[in-house]
Amino acid sequence: MSMPTKNEQSTKQPEQTIGVGAPLPSQFQHLDWQSAKNAAAATHFALLAEATNDAIRDWDVKNGDLIWSQGLTSLLGYDPRPTTEQLAFWQKNLHPEDRARTANSIRDALVGNANRWSGEYRFRRADGNYAHILERAAIVRDEAGGAVRFVGSLMDITPRKQLQDQLCRSQKMEAFGQLAAGVAHDFNNFLTTILGYSDLLLHELRVKGQLASHISEIRSAAGRASTLTQQLLAFSRKQPLAPKVLEVNSIITNLERSLLRLLSENIRVISHLHDEKEPVHVQVDPDQLAQIILNLALNARDAMPRGGQLRLETSVFTVSDQHQTFLGMDDLPPGDYAVIKLADTGIGMTDEVKAHLFEPFFTTKDECTGLGLATSYGIVRQSGGQIRIESEQGQGTTVLIFLPKVSPPSVPYKKPASRKIPGGTETILVLEDDVSVRHMSVRVLRSLGYRAIEAANGDDAKRLIAQATDRKIDLLLTDMVMPEMSGRNFAKWLHQTCPHTKVIFVSGYLEESLHPHDRRDPDMFFLAKPFDSEQLANKIREALDA
């Protein structure tokens, strides 16, 4: 066996073995390091995608192929199939209203020189429901600047969008409430004038016959119009309600006959009233609550065109901190509540309808103002309660009205009221910026024997008092909301000059809408607009005789 030559020894490398701790051959070191780097990057990418729970789509711009690295099943509910690996799958499941906008936006980004793109759209899940998606993508370009890959991360932002929509609805309702309160206040001034002058025509001139009938019709129309302003104020929670302490079972009992007249013959009404040992009382405007229950019964009737069952129940429920979260009514203070429940077996409501229930003017009926539930919401909230509605399609609807439980009322002796409109001879200062209401009020008071003086604002009233030889003012009748100086501030000034002067505040607003400094004290008198001559006369006499 011949030995290798020197040159052969110098060119032939000895065979190497790889053992524990031995260095890798140079030709393999770079490859294994790169593989390890890629593996680590892939692991990091997978962990990051799993942590965010986003869907990842990798789109080959040239041939339209899609690779779903993450989230196709976990986020969107689709099983991987050949159809999911084409761009047409993504385009098909875009919401029709978002398809053109989103496609145009991505196309503009690809044609330009952008390296990133982001947008929001609705994408249909496998269950048929649409998810609100926020996609943020990186655009990979070749050396010539052409787009070759589009790698996007799809985040489900549906809960966030729902919260935004709820906030927008709340803001719209608040804005509408402010608008409704302002319109109702001005409208109440017009109605007060119509009611007052109608009474003056009927009583001062003693009009009779057909003319008296016409005037009565005008007065009746004004009265019906005042009901509309009450609904607007109830929605805005600025309605001067007339709450009374009532026994909750008697509310349902008194309405049963009216309900039977309203409902179809194929609808069965079942009442199940609470059997508490002691009567359960609530403090609420009886007329408004009755209207709420009747409106809800009409909604139930319309939801049962082929007949069904309407169940009315009363019960007592104690709200604790745990119940607040469970019921989803965090703004309902803990305590004892009377619950009025109306449950029908009708067609129920979709989630979309339930989301808009309390919005003003939202309705599913062809001929309806849409103020029913919005008004009911305002009245119940103003009475310290809450409304909760539970409904499923095909499973009927249940409405729960929570009203705070109160102590039973005491029954004071009441002197029988006289039918004659009371009058007097005292001096009354009428402070009102609306000229029609002011002139009407002064004319009514003078017709009843009072000495009435008038002023359009606080400065004019101060000059009248300073110029008068007899500065004694027995009563101040003032609007609460006026330019420059409010009625409350003028009453404070007048009290320093005439400490014994009685005060009646007049307003079309409820005082909760006023600045705290402009609100009256509990022992002061209040007259809500619109009012007629009899209501004005009775309130004047009540304050003067107090």
Within-domain flag for 223: no
Per-residue pLDDT at 368? 43
> What is the average per-residue pLDDT within 457-474?
82
CATH code at position 108: 3.30.450.20
Decide which of 373, 406, 439 is a domain's last residue. Answer: 406
Same domain membership, residue 282 and residue 251: yes
The mean pLDDT of 449-475, rounded to a whole number, is: 85
Is the distance from CB of 191 to CB of 225 less than 8 angstroms?
yes
Work out the percent of the chain whose per-residue pLDDT is above 70: 74
**285/383 same-domain check:** yes
| Of 132, 156, 180, the domain-final residue | 156
Structure confidence at residue 295 as a pLDDT band (50, 70, 90): confident
SS (H, E, C) 89-156: HHHHCECHHHHHHHHHHHHHHHHCCCCEEEEEEEEECCCCCEEEEEEEEEEEECCCCCEEEEEEEEEE
Which CATH number goes with the domain that contains 285? 3.30.565.10
Joined together, the tokens standing for residue 149 give: 């890959």
pTM listed for this prediction: 0.46
pLDDT for 14 equals 46
**Residue 9 reports pLDDT greater than 50:** no
For all residues of the chain together, what is the average pLDDT?
Answer: 79
Looking at the structure, tell me whether residues 249 and 152 fall in a common domain: no
- The answer to whether residues 421 and 196 touch, using CB atoms and an 8 Å cutoff, is no
Where is the domain boundary, 137, 156, 175? 156
User: Is there a contact between 353 and 303 (Cβ–Cβ < 8 Å)?
Assistant: no
| In a domain? residue 46 | yes
For residue 269, the model assigns a pLDDT of 87
* pLDDT (tens digit per residue) in 360-395: 545 555 444 344 577 777 778 888 888 888 888 888
3-state SS of 475-487 is EEEEECCCCCCCH
At 28 the three-state DSSP class reads helix
The residue ranking higher by pLDDT, 423 or 290, is: 423
Give the pLDDT confidence score for residue 382 in this predicted structure: 80
Decide which of 202 and 402 is more confident. 402
93 pLDDT higher than 90: yes
270 and 367 belong to one structural domain: yes
Instruction: Supply the pLDDT for residue 232.
Output: 65
Residue 327 has pLDDT above 60, yes or no: no
Task: Output the pLDDT for position 99.
Answer: 93
Q: Which domain holds residue 108?
A: 42-156
Residue type, 395: Q
d(CA 30, CA 126): 45
Strand (E) positions, 377-460?
Answer: 386-392, 396-406, 427-431, 451-455
* Residue 328: band (very low, low, confident or very high) from pLDDT cuts 50, 70, 90: low
When divided into structural domains, the chain yields a total of 3
Dihedrals φ, ψ of 60, to 5°? Answer: -80, 105
Of 30-34, 258-262, 287-291, 438-442, the range with the lowest mean pLDDT is: 30-34
Whether residue 346 is found in the same domain as residue 276: yes
Give domain status of residue 302, yes or no: yes
Residues 252 and 367 in one domain: yes
Same domain, 383 and 436: no
On the question of pLDDT at 115 being above 90, the answer is: yes
3-state DSSP call for residue 82? Answer: helix
The answer on pLDDT for 33 being more than 90 is no
Give 139-189 pLDDT, tens digit per residue: 999 998 999 999 999 999 988 887 777 677 666 666 766 676 677 778 888
Q: What are the backbone angles phi and psi of residue 232, rounded to the nearest 5°?
A: -65, -45
pLDDT of residue 230: 67
Q: Are residues 484 and 373 in the same domain?
A: no
Return phi, psi of residue 109, to 5°: -65, -40
